[in-house]
Chains A and B, each alone.
Chain A
Amino acid sequence: MKANYGFADATGEYYITIDTDKCDGCGDCVTACPEKLFEVAADDYGKVVAMIREEVRIKLGYLCPGYEAACRKKEVNCHSACGQDAIKHSW
């Protein structure tokens, strides 16, 4: 199952997609994210997976610079940390 966290407004679409079929709940993304946007918890179906924290979900566009910007900085981020390639950005 793909869980899309984020929002779309007049400036664009800001969604982080976590593929719960690929995610194994390792928590590497939780430590890697410089803005601490992730957490690992049981979803509705009981599977322990990564998710975006509820408090930051509607501020995602402000807190995360997006895929290109994060990778250009060459710092450790959710994409570099995830061994399952379970995380995708829409911007």
Chain B
Amino acid sequence: MLVAGLDMGNLTTKAVLLLDGDLLAQSLIMNSEGGDIDGRRAIQAALEESFFDFENIAFLATTGSGRKSVTFSMKQRSPASCIAKGAKRLVPSARTVIDVGAETCTVVRVDDLGGLEDSLGNERCASGTGVFLETMAKLMRMPWQKMADASLEAKSVAEISSMCAIFAEQEVISHVHREPPTPMNDIIAGIHASMATRVAGLAKRMGIKPDVVFSGGVANNKGFARILEDTLATKLDIPEYPEFVSALGAALTAHDEAFRQAG
């Protein structure tokens, strides 16, 4: 039985296909018009890698900020529950999940049975989300992948006291114009450190219980992940495709719902 999970995110839409509960295909697309159009595009892209068609999908569940905008969705679930479900499937020992997306930062506590124990989100403030890094990337005039590498090369971490994107930008500018100027790698490490403070703050408010999974698109940033690990003083488990964790959770929900409704 083929099921699909859609994570309608703020910047990208992720689709995960499961065949009899096992991962078949996954695909990510940049958002365009949103809603059904992007939902369908993401699923089509994932179907391309399989022998199936849209009509073969027995159940579709949606999550993410745009989950209610997909008219052909059969079930909607909050991002927190999908993050918990997806992370638990990839890392069975997961008890805390930190998910950092384009515009959201969510910390989720999972209980021993895989159920959602507690969840805390921050969708209002850019600090602690991908938008912060995007803003800084424009300022540094380099893509985030290069920023990740630069951060890992840094000899020391420049002090950027502010977590707010607006004020941090000012601090970065003054670092660049300092006499002598702060090394670029150090500034970038400082940017990551400032963001890690915000993310870690949210995680500590929740209470960190190992094992800790780091998911969401920002988890691809190895430079930031390293600094977050240091700030939390806890090892972070990063799945191979961290941006798909929530969509996987939605697909698993679809799988469970399909069986529940059939039986």
Consensus secondary structure, chain B interface: mixed
B50 interface hit (Cβ, 8 Å):
no
B205 contacts across to A, CB distance below 8 A: 13, 90
A window 1-15: CB within 8 A of B: 1-4, 7-10, 13, 15
CB distance from A88 to the nearest CB of B (A): 12
Give the residue of B124, B163, B201 whose beta carbon is less than 8 angstroms from that of A58. B124
Establish whether residues B122 and A8, one from each chain, have CB atoms under 8 Å apart when the complex forms: yes
Asked if B118 is at the interface (CB within 8 A of a chain A CB), the reply is yes
**Residue B202 interfacial (CB < 8 Å):** yes
A10/B164 contact (C-beta < 8 A), A1-B117, A44-B78 known = yes
Question: Could you give, for residues 200-211 of chain B, a 1 whenever the CB lies within 8 Å of some chain A CB and a 0 otherwise?
Answer: 011001000000
Residues of B within 8 Å of A, CB-based: how many? 24
Which residues of chain A are within 8 angstroms of B116 by Cβ–Cβ distance?
Answer: 1, 44-45
B143 at the interface (CB under 8 A from A): no
Task: For A10, give its contact among B117, B118, B127 (CB under 8 Å).
Answer: B127
- The residues of B that contact A43 with a CB separation of less than 8 Å are 78
Q: Is B62 an interface residue (CB 8 A)?
A: no
- Interface readout for B60-79 with A: 1 if CB under 8 Å, 0 if not? 00000000000000000110
Of the candidates B77, B115, B117, B201, the one whose C-beta lies within 8 Å of that of A2 is B117
Known: A1-B118, A13-B205. A7 touches B81 (CB 8 A): no
Q: Mark interface residues in A58-91 (1 if CB within 8 Å of B CB, else 0).
A: 1000000000000000000000000000000010
Could you say which residues of chain B place their CB within 8 Å of the CB of A57? 123
In the assembled complex, which residues on chain A have CB atoms less than 8 Å from the CB atom of B118?
Answer: 1-2, 4
Set of chain A residues within 8 Å of B121, measured between Cβ atoms? 4, 7
**Is residue B119 within 8 Å, beta carbon to beta carbon, of the partner chain?**
yes
Chain B neighbourhood of A58, CB < 8 A: 123-124
Residues of A with C-beta under 8 A to B77 = 44
Given contacts A44-B77, A44-B81, whether A9 and B117 have CB atoms under 8 Å apart is no
Offer 9 A-B interface pairs, CB within 8 angstroms, sorted by A: A4-B120, A7-B122, A8-B124, A8-B202, A9-B125, A9-B127, A45-B115, A45-B116, A57-B123
Instruction: List 6 extra interface pairs beyond A8-B201, A8-B202, CB under 8 A.
Output: A2-B118, A2-B119, A7-B123, A7-B124, A10-B164, A44-B116
Top-10 shortest CB links A-B: A7-B124, A9-B125, A2-B118, A10-B164, A4-B120, A58-B124, A44-B81, A8-B122, A7-B122, A44-B77
